[in-house]
Amino acid sequence: MSQANLLDRRAVVSELLKDRKGAFAVGGLGASTYDIAAAGDHDRNFYLWGGMGGAVMIGLGLALAQPTLPVVVITGDGEMLMGVGSLATVGLQQPKNLSIIVLDNEAYGETGGQASHTGGPADLVGVAKACGIGDSRAISTMAEVEAFASSLQDVTAGPRFASAKIDGANLERVLSSRDGTYLVNRIRGSIGHTPI
Amino acid sequence: MHARADTAASWPEEIFSILQRFEVRQVPYVPDAGHSQLIERVLGSSSMRGIALTTEEEGVALLAGAWAGGQRGVLLMQSSGVGNCINMLSLVQIFRLPFLTLVTMRGEWGEFNPWQVPMGSNTQGILELSGIKVLRASHPEEVREVVEAGAAQAYNACTPTAVLLSQRLIGAKVFTK
């Protein structure tokens, strides 16, 4: 499945989070969560091991609660398709500090590589744009990834959406903590909230 | 049985005051006629943000993000929407969320539309199987204390709670040609 002209998912995520400063990173169920873990554990990583289709909405709730901090949702095409209506909800709310990037391998990698709709006619960049996310782009080079990484720090110009076509190779899983209460309390702790 | 009244009821205002008192900030909703007065109040409020959803499960995920970011929320939906939430309700247990939802009931108490009945009949069971405590208000005079108790246990004790606002309270929807 490895193709030379497609981006490497780990390189993309590592670039996105390299100089993240205070940003929160929400990872969709599946390989995106492993990619975020591979880039390095962080108090503000919101790893998802379930709730398929919910990554963008978790990002939206976080972004509305913390409007001065960048929030980046990093998810896959299958996860995004399951929650595709959430792009309309983001388009309506216009959170300026929310960025969404889909790592699009046109397949359900975690379940055996079955083809997803983005390998067919479904165009997520078109969907995002049509939902009112004005800054929606297709990414195909690392230079464009770098530009997206620096733009997500700007909490006055979002929401923004990108889809990066990535190599479909299944990489070694890098497993994050999967204790949800710990992860959420760790994020809350990082912004000064104590447990109840 | 009684039909929906045309005049504004006072209990939606009581719910709004309770939400204010508990410092609720994010109010995701899928519109329902029974919630219309409360939704209008939320959309006009400076301390709460009403967030229209395309499907109710979005609201469960939104509230998980809100809680991680330090804000409380409440999900407003109709009984049929509970069915749309089932898998996403995993987040409530996994994150031990202070989850509160106010559910207006259809498919009971003088219902006209049979299509509302299957989901309306299973709403409470589905919520309970999903680990959510269920309270119910059927009369205007009990709404305040039931919603207050629900909000208190959800926000103070992180005990996920649904308050069912019965069709007996809201009034059955009248279908006329």
Burial status of residue A174 (CB atoms within 10 A of its CB: 0-12, 13-18, 19 or more): middle
User: Could you give the percent of chain B with pLDDT greater than 90?
Assistant: 90
The reply to whether A187 touches chain B by the CB within 8 Å rule is yes
Say if the Cβ atoms of B69 and A65 lie within 8 Å.
Answer: yes
Residues in chain B within 8 Å Cβ distance of A53 = 57, 61, 88
Tell whether A2 is covered by a domain.
no
Q: How many CB atoms lie within 10 A of CB A169?
A: 13
Report the distance separating Cα B124 and Cα B162, nearest Å.
Answer: 9
Contact call for residues B103 and B146 (beta carbons, < 8 A):
no
Distance from chain centroid for Cα A93: 18
CB contact under 8 A, B69 and A60: no
- Region B133-159: what's the mean pLDDT? 98
Share of chain A above pLDDT 90, in %: 93
Please compute the mean of the pLDDT values over residues A103-112 and round it to a whole number. 94
B175 token code pair: 């279908």
Q: What digits encode the pLDDT tens for the residues A146-185?
A: 999 999 999 999 999 999 999 998 899 999 999 999 999 9
* Cβ atoms of residues B68 and A66 within 8 Å: no
Q: Do residue B68 and residue A187 have CB atoms under 8 angstroms apart?
A: yes
Q: A161 lies in a domain?
A: yes
What was the pLDDT predicted at B174? 85
Q: Give me the torsion for CA of B78, B81, B87, B93, rounded to 10°.
A: -10
Domain assignment present for residue A1? The answer is: no
Considering the domain boundaries, does residue A156 fall inside one?
yes
Provide, as residue numbers in chain B, all residues whose Cβ is less than 8 Å from the Cβ of A52. 87
Q: With bands split at pLDDT 50, 70 and 90, how would you rate the model's confidence at A47? A: very high
* Domain extent at residue A151: 9-190
For residue B171, the model assigns a pLDDT of 87
Beta bridge partners of B77: B103
Q: Tell me how close the Cα of B92 comes to any Cα of chain A, in angstroms.
A: 10
Chain A nearest CA to B148, separation (Å): 19
Place of tokens 């993000």: B65
Q: Name the pTM for this structure.
A: 0.96
Whether A196 maps to a domain, the answer reads no
Checking ipTM against 0.90, whether it exceeds it is: yes
CA distance B88 to chain A (A): 5
List the structure tokens of B113.
């539309």
The predicted pLDDT at position B177 comes to 80
With an 8 Å Cβ cutoff, are A65 and B58 in contact? no
Q: How many CB atoms are closer than 10 A to CB A111?
A: 9
Q: What is the pLDDT of residues A4-45, one digit of tens each?
A: 689 999 999 999 999 999 999 999 998 999 999 999 999 999
Q: Which of B55, B91, B158 to mutate to test the interface with A (most CBs of A within 10 A)?
A: B91
CB atoms within 10 A of CB B50: 17
pLDDT digits (tens, 9 = 90+) for B4-41: 766 678 999 999 999 999 999 999 999 999 999 999 99
pLDDT score, position A2: 54
Mean pLDDT of chain B: 95
Q: Which of A55, A61, A184 lies at the smallest CB-CB distance from B26?
A: A61
HSE of B7 in the Cβ direction (CA atoms, 13 Å)?
2
Work out the angle between the directed axes of helices A142-151 and A9-17 (0-180°, nearest 10).
Answer: 30
Quote the number of domains for chain A: 1
Q: Residue B11: what pLDDT?
A: 96
Chain A closest-CA separation from residue B63 CA (Å): 6
CA torsion through residues B61, B66, B68, B71, sign:
negative
Where does A138-179 have alpha helices with state H?
A: 142-151
Residue A14 lies in a domain: yes
Buried/exposed code over A115-143 (b: 16+ C-beta within 10 A; e: otherwise): ebebeeeeebbebbbebebeebbbbeeee
- On chain B, the residues whose CB falls within 8 A of the CB of A24 are 68-69
Q: Is the peptide bond before A159 cis (omega within 30 degrees of 0)?
A: yes
The fraction of chain A above a pLDDT of 70, given in percent, is 98
pLDDT at A137 over 70: yes
Beta strands in chain B (DSSP E): 24-29, 49-52, 72-73, 75-78, 100-104, 133-137, 161-165
Ramachandran sector of residue A106 (left: φ over 0; alpha: ψ -120 to 50; beta: rest): left
Cα angle at B19 between B13 and B25, to 5 degrees? 125
Question: A72 — contact with chain B (CB < 8 Å)?
Answer: no
Helix, strand or coil for residue A179?
Answer: coil
Q: CA angle, B70 as apex, A181 and B96 as ends, to 5°?
A: 25
CB contact, 8 Å: A63 with chain B? yes
Q: What is the mean pLDDT of chain A?
A: 96
Give the pLDDT mean for B76-92: 98
Domains parsed from chain B with CATH numbers: 11-71+79-126+143-170 (3.40.50.970)
CATH of the domain at A95: 3.40.50.970
